[in-house]
Amino acid sequence: MRSADAAQPEAAQSVQAAAANAAQSASAQAAPGAAQSASAQAAPGAAQSAPAAQSPRLAWATPALLEGHTGPPPILLGAAGGAAHFALDISQSGDPLNEYGWQGAAEFPDLRAAAGLLPPGEAAIAAQARHLTDWHARHRHCPGCGGATTPVQAGWSRRCPECSALHFPRTDPVVIAVVTDGARCLLGRQSGWPRNLYSALAGFVEPGESVEEAVAREVREESGVRVHRVRYLASQPWPFPASLMLGCHAEATSTALRVDNTELEDARWFPRSEIRSALHAPTPTLTLPPPVAIAHHLIKTWAEQ
Ligand SMILES: [Zn+2]
């Protein structure tokens, strides 16, 4: 039913692929004014900043950032080097680079584009910070009684003072699957994607479904193809806003296409040779998602079998 934003290859330029577990990596380091996800070089007064290298790194601000801060309270991400690290939502600032004096030292690029350039651990931290700051911003009221909630437990939950309910950050599972009939694999594209870009089919897991059932339903709804032998391979956090992508392979038991044009603009079977070429470089007829997207790895794993 619902197609996942996560399925969009353009969106897939976010978190580093497979196995990037935000919560785990968070304790390895931690993030800064993460709501806007500071990347790039180092911020002035950065507690521990990256070298001014070619590759972007997260930049860390000092606790001075909290002085005069009137937005949401900081969220604990983890500890590293004996120091606690926090994410701070500074999205209320219209011009943070000037406001905080970071001009020329840091940037606030779009996370979807920047995450693919960050080291995997830092991309995971940025995903963790983005997921949590967004959750707080969108869950200010209790779903049980409507009361205004407040952050507790260092930002890892929100409590409702009216009914005492405790609310936790949600993660929405999304299945993404490469379907194969042996010699070919099934990929689709949504309208609005870059020309010739095709990716694995994806969608949200619905209530009462297993991962295997969700793959079978999504593929059938979007393409008309029936599958079995769904096999899980790897996952990818997708904090836009709160998904966890569950990457799978599945085998087709039918190959006739009946594309649901409300979800997809097109879906096709691609021979392995064409996939291998497109993995190397875009062909005149096929562009595949970039390596930062889990779809890329699902496709590549099948193509190299
Ligand atoms: Zn309540």
* pLDDT tens track for 164-215: 999 999 999 999 999 999 999 999 999 999 999 999 999 999 999 999 999 9
How many A from CA of 243 to the centre of ligand 1? 25
Tokens of 275: 């996939």
* Class (C level, CATH) for 172-303: alpha beta
How many A from CA of 158 to the centre of ligand 1? 10
End-to-end CA distance of the chain: give it in Å, rounded.
31
Residues above pLDDT 70, as percent of the chain? 82
- Domain ranges in the chain are 139-170, 172-303
- Segment 235-241 shows an average pLDDT of 93
pLDDT computed for residue 28 by the predictor = 28
| pLDDT at residue 40 tops 70 | no
| pLDDT at residue 294 tops 60 | yes
The b-or-e profile of 11-20 (16+ CB within 10 A means b, else e) is bbbbbbbbeb
How many A from CA of 56 to the centre of ligand 1? 42
Q: What is the pLDDT of residues 55-71, one digit of tens each?
A: 889 999 999 988 888 88
How many A from CA of 110 to the centre of ligand 1? 34
Phi and psi at residue 3, to the nearest 5°: -75, 145
How many A from CA of 168 to the centre of ligand 1? 13
Higher confidence at residue 21 or residue 200? 200
- Could you give the residue ranges of the DSSP H alpha helices within 74-150? 96-99, 111-114, 120-138
pLDDT band with cut points at 50, 70 and 90 for residue 112? confident
How many A from CA of 140 to the centre of ligand 1? 11
Instruction: Give me the chain's average pLDDT, please.
Output: 85
| pLDDT at residue 9 tops 70 | no
How many A from CA of 165 to the centre of ligand 1? 6
pLDDT band with cut points at 50, 70 and 90 for residue 158? very high
pLDDT band with cut points at 50, 70 and 90 for residue 21? very low
How many A from CA of 143 to the centre of ligand 1? 7
Instruction: Kindly calculate the radius of gyration of the chain based on its CA atoms and give it in whole angstroms.
Output: 21
How many A from CA of 89 to the centre of ligand 1? 24
Burial status of residue 81 (CB atoms within 10 A of its CB: 0-12, 13-18, 19 or more): exposed
- Could you give the residue ranges of the DSSP H alpha helices within 149-238? 211-223
Of the given ranges (21-25, 133-137, 228-232, 275-279), which has the lowest mean pLDDT? 21-25
pTM for the whole structure: 0.80
